[in-house]
Each structure stands twice: as C-alpha cells, then as structure tokens.
Structure 1
Amino acid sequence: MTTDDAQYDERGEVPLAGYAALASVFATSVGTYAVVARRRGVRLPRELPPWDVALLGTATYKVSRLLTRDKITSFLRAPFTRRADEGEAGEVMDEPRGTGMRRAVGDLMACPFCTSAWVATALMCSYAASPRLTRLVGGGFGALTVADWLQYAWTWTQRTADG
C-alpha cells in the first residue's frame, strides 16, 4: 500500500495502482482495436438503431451476469475471488481477494456493473466490424435474458398461488 492509497482509503483496501493498470489495458485495447480496424477498412455504422442499442444492452446485461455470477464461470473468477454466498436462482456471490492487481481484477470480476463496461465495449467493437454476427450473438444472449425473466415470473406466480 502506498501513502496515496492510504489517503484515498483509510483502510488501505482500494488497489488504485491495479485500477489504473486495468483502465490502461481497457484504453489501450480500445485504441488498438480502432487502429487495426481502421487499417483493415472497417467502417463505422452510419447509425445505431434503438433496437440494436436495446439488443446490445440486453446482451451486455446477460454476459456480465454470466461472467460475474454464474457457477459455471467460477473457474475464471477463482484466482481473483472467493465464494462469499449463494445468490438467487443459482447465482453465486463472490468477493475479491488478495491485494494489488489481484484485488483489482477481483473487484472487476465480482461486479456485474463493472464488468458490463468491458462487455459493452467488446460488443460495440464487434458490432462495428460485423453487425450481423453481433446481432445474432446479442439475440442469443437477449433470449437468455428473456428466459431468465420468465423463470422469475413463473417462480413468483407459483409462490403467489401457493400463498
């Protein structure tokens, strides 16, 4: 922990250097994509229809939940997080572990809101390069989101009927 970290967070638990490194990876990745895409002749879509925004938003939501809350993706999170609790509908709640960069990655991988920025960016880059493929993938994840909500509605209906 550096003195600056302690000034930011009295407990010294916020890995500012790790966050800076992750933000740098994010910015560098987007910049590299932009340069490579430009050199390969990828043209940005003239418009982004509201339907595509909704589709990509729904897909972003679902992929973020899969990465941060799904049991089956625990192997991705395990080096950076530990199981803290069981959530609803088979989801799990992980908490970050370690210090420094490990903690920073754990914070990212345990937070669906944090992960969604990375997922949305990946989907938008994919959309710029291949809108049809991205719509297909987004549609699949969107269908999963609708199925989840129908599962929740069914469970709620059963609980309400059972009293």
Structure 2
Amino acid sequence: MEHDEEREEGTRGERAKGVLRRLSKAYSPGERRHLGGHAGAVAAFGVYTAAWGVAVGLRGAKLPERPEPWDIVCAAAATFRLSRLLSKGSVTSPMRAPFTRYESATGPAEVSESPRGGHVRSTVGELVTCPFCLSVWLTTTITGARLLWPGPTRAVTGGLTALAAADAMQLGYDCLVQKNAE
C-alpha cells in the first residue's frame, strides 16, 4: 500500500513536470524558459507575504487608515537603493556569485551578471540580478517591518533614502565635472 502511494506521488510529480515542460515550450518556443522555477518563486513569495501577514496579525499591529506620505517616499527610495545595491552592487557580488556569472562592469560600483545553473539556481539568479524583481520582495519586507517595528524601520528607510540622495548627488556632480571638462 505504501509503495502504491509513493508511486502515485511520483506519477503526479512527473505529470506536473510534463505539464510545465509543455507550457514552457508553447510559451517560448525559441527560448528555454524555466516556468517551473518561476512558479516556485511565485509560490515562495506567497508564503513569504503570508508569513508577514501572520506575524502582523499575531502581534496585533494596528493597520493605519492610510500610509503617511513621507513613509511612502522613504520606502520607495529605500527600496530603490537597496534593490540596486543587492542586485547590481559590485560589493554584493559574492552573495550573487553562486547563482550568477559575471559579465562586465556597468557603472559606478555596479556590475552586469547573468543567471546560471539549473531550474532553481537560474531562477534565483534571475531574481537576485533584477532590481525590479527584488523591489517586490523588499517592499513587502519594509511594509511588514514598518507595521511591526515602526521606529527602527523608519530609521533604516531614512538612512537608505539619504544614501539614495547622496548617490544622486555624486552622479550629478560627476556629470557637471565631465561637462565642464569638455
């Protein structure tokens, strides 16, 4: 009886893989896309978001009527800066290295990398090299943290906002210097 259940589980798993392979081929006939890995990432994000929801619910954190405008600005700037640092920063490349391949330097302290490896590994590689993809996860993190620990979260998002502003000033200064040198 136990072997029949294991065989049935294996058969179901093989059928699901077959469906994903057919979907992937139909979705992108000329290019290999890892829809299974992406489906797993979507499921992981759902679990991650639900975990924040459970934590907020268990803590009994009161949801605001509406977010404060300054909190939105700081969260957006912090998300932008942190997603760039994590996905493109040369200093954070050791964290991405197991999932990516270095391609080139692309700007001040930033690199271009491409995903590598099998389905799960390349999906993680896509996630960690995409500032837009990371922004979804970071916004969820900042939102949940803001509900659970408002003071410390404001301090962190404020610091990251200051860093984003300082980066913009550095780049602006470099542009002015280059323009005056011409």
Distance in 1 (CA, whole Å) between partners of 2:66 and 2:151 is 14
Distance in 1 (CA, whole Å) between partners of 2:51 and 2:89 is 30
Deviations 1:8-63 (A, max 9, x none): 11134211111111111111111122123212222222320111101100000000
- The answer to whether 1:128 aligns with 2:147 is yes
- The answer to whether 1:55 aligns with 2:74 is yes
TM-score normalised by the chain length of structure 2? 0.85
Shift >6 Å, 4+ stretches: none
Answer with 74-83 or 44-53: which moved more.
44-53
2:120 to 101, 108, 113: 101
Q: Is the 8 A contact 2:83 2:131 kept in 1?
A: yes
Q: CA RMSD in A?
A: 1.3
For residue 91 of structure 2, give the secondary structure of its aligned residue in structure 1. Answer: helix
TM-score normalised by the chain length of structure 1? 0.95
Within 5 Å, give how 1:12-161 maps onto structure 2.
12-161=31-180
For residue 132 of structure 1, give the secondary structure of its aligned residue in structure 2. Answer: helix
Amino acid at match of 1:111: C
Amino acid at match of 2:145: S
Amino acid at match of 2:43: S
Q: Which has more radius of gyration?
A: 2
Q: What is the identity percentage for the equivalent residue pairs of Structure 1 and Structure 2?
A: 33
User: How many residues are aligned here?
Assistant: 163
* Structure 1 gap segments, 5+ residues each: none
Answer with 60-69 or 40-49: which moved more.
40-49
